A and B are shown apart, each in its own frame.
Chain A
Amino acid sequence: MTDQKKIIEIRDLHKSYQMGSTRVNVLEGANLSVRRGEFLAILGASGSGKSTLLHLLGGLDRPDQGRVLFEDQDLRDYKRGRLNRFRNRTVGFVFQFYHLIDEFNVRENVLLPAMVGKSVLAWLAGRSQPKRRADELIEQVGLEDRALHKPYQLSGGERQRVAIARALMNRPELLLADEPTGNLDSATGNSILKIFEQLNRAGQTIVMVTHDERIAQMATRAVVLVDGKTVERRVGQPS
């Protein structure tokens, strides 16, 4: 499944947060590399820094020390515009709490990354193609009859499907999922995981943060965050 070529890599990553008067070190020299087509699960206890690691991989945050290399290029060297384009075209985020825009319907939410990436004029000139793509994705996640519904009219599972479709809108090379089933019941969570499985089978590189061991079983590789460092773990091996 994997073509062995590294898509993203972190080297000696450090990140800390100020919590009141104390400084909390979250990542302390974490190393990791993700290969194209891989489904990587990042495991760890609550507060171990899983989400922080995901945000650093997606260029949403900057490390205190260490490097995040996307195709051997350090994200720190990216200028602001390039980093924005990286977030828009290269990565897709799926969040635990879906994070849909309440004012937009399903179709508009899915179209959002395409809208963000284009100026108004460019959008008006070529909107039919992204609309077709959005309709395909909505169909792929089984929400074709919900396309015009607003997020508040959807169940948790449906919202997460919309979030997945949205993350895939610009055909990202890397899909980053932050506990995508953490807010769902087990049956709904399983259906969401199946979508991720299918996507990975189709060649999509996925990095998923979870604290659920069962989910990690579905991944092709798993790492555990312990004391701010990543520890490689064989799939199927209990942590």
Chain B
Amino acid sequence: MNSSAPTPSAAYRTTATGTPAGARLLAGWYDTGRPADLNEHLLRYGPPPVAMARGHRHSMPLLRAVEAAGLTGRGGAGFPTAAKLRAVAARRGRAVVVVNAMESEPPSRKDQFLLAVAPHLVLDGAVLAAEAVGADTVHICLPRGRPAQYQQLHTALGDRGRAHLDVVSLLLHALPHTYVSSESTSLVRWLNGGEARPLGNPPRSHERGVARLPTLVHNAETLAHLALVARYGPDWYRQTGTSDEPGTTLVTVSGAVAAPGVLEVALGTPLATLLDGAGGPTEPLRAVLLGGFAGVWLPAGHLRTPLTRHDLAELGAAPGAGALVALPRAACGLTETARVLAYLAAHSARQCGPCRLGLPAVAEDFAALAAGRPDPDLLSRLHRRTGLLPDRGACRHPDGAARLAASALRTFADDVDHHLTRGACPNAHRPPLLPVPPAEPPEAWR
């Protein structure tokens, strides 16, 4: 994606529907309808309460608050934030904090949106996390190709510098924008002077990451939530969401909905309500893609499922980074999936066998299926090859592609039949729906 304008008003819904009840990260945006500069941010929230993040690493108020709040990562994996903080805080010596704002999922815009409308909330969270783990440097990683976003954050950092707000230094970086360069080890590798390609474990970043120091990598949205937990405490945080999965989360809703955009919703909100929040479906739906290109196709019959890890796990799905795409009944899920797989294959780091050979083979088979040109062995071969992708790479890229392919074969089983026996379905010739970038290898890894 080369979209260069993070200006929210142009690309996203404005305040026409009023301030949604319970908005937290986006409350300021809903109130004012414009991005919050430092003055406005300080008026609303005051300076980051860094005293919260000081003290002994086991008893520090911030760590206890984040733990009691039950905050989890919003980058996709959903790992408990306090556990990550603790793992880095427990290491001896100086640490490093990395803000992951790469947002490489093409159907996701939430981090870009959040950084556009409330940059200082994210930066406060980064500064607080740095204080908590004993870091004096925060690296903010953005993808190249969004110069307006870079400029806006550059300005935000300048404002903070002139206000002498932070003790830690905040450094802005623009990294190669590939699908896998958002992986946390890709960031660490790039910041160490290497290519933005994933690394295998060990050592894990929290043990030895940037400059060989213990490194905390958090998604931008996660840090914004942390900044609010630091101010208002865990009880406030738990007032919304479910008891097991409290709080709000940002979602990006697109596809066949009237008003695509970024929403802030309580965890546990049914998927159908998310679609309604984005103006509702514009035509009858066949399925939704939840969790981005590494996500899962869910049949429209599951739209009453609440957005929680627990409820979605039963369907083999997960909230991921909160990207939801509505696929109309008059679309071909196989064709859409084939396009995504071709892109995922082209954008692999080409480091491990499954990504260099297995994923392109799966993508090719899927393209033949989508085109209605199968050979007799295609389906069994596709199942076998898809089954051999997970758990066999240095990162989870092949796992995500396999999850998507397998869910497509399940959810679009009727179409699979049609394509195998009677050629491509009529919908296969409709214009594509998903925003899939060209299936070409990245230009640069450094």
Are both chains from one complex?
no
